[in-house]
Amino acid sequence: MATANPAMNVAVYDRAGLAESTASVMTLQGTVMKTAILLGLLVVAAGYTWGQIFAGNTSLAYGLLIGGSIGGLVMALITIFVPKASPVTAPIYAIAQGLFLGGISAVFETQFQGIAMQAAGLTIGVLAVMLFLYGTRIIRATEKFKIGVIAATGAIALVYLVSMVMSLFGARMPFIHDSGPIGIGISVVIVIVAALNLILDFDFIEQGVTRQAPKYMEWYGGFSLLVTLVWMYLEILRLLAKMRGSNN
């Protein structure tokens, strides 16, 4: 069953098959380590773009932001369609997304001081809470739970798609980008849905370990989790900006 995250499709394990030996099998510890490496690369790359903006090199920074956005999308597609390439494409994806996030975060920071650090802290906090809830089985990735999260995420994706199409014609979808109570409420719901996607991500990784997937799937599992974390960070950043804008 596919999850809301396009990278988190258990069918990828069917295509990968079983590991050739016990020494080359996917493990939880290995996936955690690969995820930590990807996060480290993302933070370093983000710090570079961030530094360029505050150093006054805005042209370079915006170039890195756009290049990172496009590069991240390309690497994500390659990784999803060719999981065996994930040991190479996943780190490149993390670096590209870091360049993009560093630029976006700096733009928000120039408007609302301290917002990037708050968003990063909340993202880490939500990740820790959801990992605890999943590890203690307080929240279980049942079929009904999966269907509910997938439906909610699909609805959000549809709203964003319609909003993008409307913007091409100079129109603007009401409420979704507003800093009023309704706009803030919408962002809260989206952040909650993004957080619930982490449960599906944890389940996806656990299934890979149970199925004894090949070792390279550790990189794929880390990449898939990073996709959700990037989305959640951006949504938290937007929510905080709306709340700051409302207060102002």
Helix (H, G, I), strand (E, B) or coil at 25: strand
Helix (H, G, I), strand (E, B) or coil at 214: strand
Angle at which helices 58-81 and 86-111 pack, to 10 degrees?
Answer: 140
Is residue 244 scored above 60 in pLDDT? yes
What residue numbers bound the domain in which 99 lies? 11-247
Q: Domain for residue 103, yes or no?
A: yes
Report yes or no: 102 and 49 within 8 Å, Cβ to Cβ. Answer: yes
Report yes or no: 166 and 175 within 8 Å, Cβ to Cβ. Answer: no
Helix (H, G, I), strand (E, B) or coil at 112: coil
Q: Domain for residue 6, yes or no?
A: no
The model's confidence at residue 78, banded by pLDDT at 50, 70 and 90, is very high
Among the listed residues 107, 111, 75, the one whose alpha carbon sits nearest the alpha carbon of residue 91: 75
Angle at which helices 115-135 and 181-210 pack, to 10 degrees?
Answer: 50
pLDDT of amino acid 3:
44
Report yes or no: 180 and 246 within 8 Å, Cβ to Cβ. Answer: yes
Phi, psi of 2 (to 5 degrees): -70, 150
What residue type is assigned to position 150 of the chain?
Answer: I
Domain count for the chain, please give it. 1
Report yes or no: 107 and 53 within 8 Å, Cβ to Cβ. Answer: yes
Phi, psi of 132 (to 5 degrees): -65, -45
Q: Domain for residue 4, yes or no?
A: no
Q: Over the stretch 142-166, which tens digit does the pLDDT of each residue have?
A: 999 999 999 999 999 898 889 888 8
Please tell me whether the overall predicted TM-score, pTM, comes out greater than 0.75 for this model: yes
CA distance 53 to 123: 23
Helix (H, G, I), strand (E, B) or coil at 216: coil
User: For the chain, what is the radius of gyration of the CA atoms?
Assistant: 18
Q: Domain for residue 5, yes or no?
A: no
Is residue 1 scored above 60 in pLDDT? no
Report yes or no: 173 and 228 within 8 Å, Cβ to Cβ. Answer: no
Q: How many CA atoms lie within 13 A of 192 on its CB side?
A: 8
Is residue 38 scored above 90 in pLDDT? yes
Q: Domain for residue 50, yes or no?
A: yes
Q: Over the stretch 90-128, which tens digit does the pLDDT of each residue have?
A: 999 999 999 999 999 999 999 999 999 999 999 999 999
Q: Domain for residue 86, yes or no?
A: yes
Q: Domain for residue 3, yes or no?
A: no
CA distance 109 to 117: 9
Helix (H, G, I), strand (E, B) or coil at 9: strand
How far, in whole angstroms, is CA 180 from its chain's centroid?
26
Compute the average pLDDT of residues 43-63. Answer: 94
Q: Domain for residue 2, yes or no?
A: no
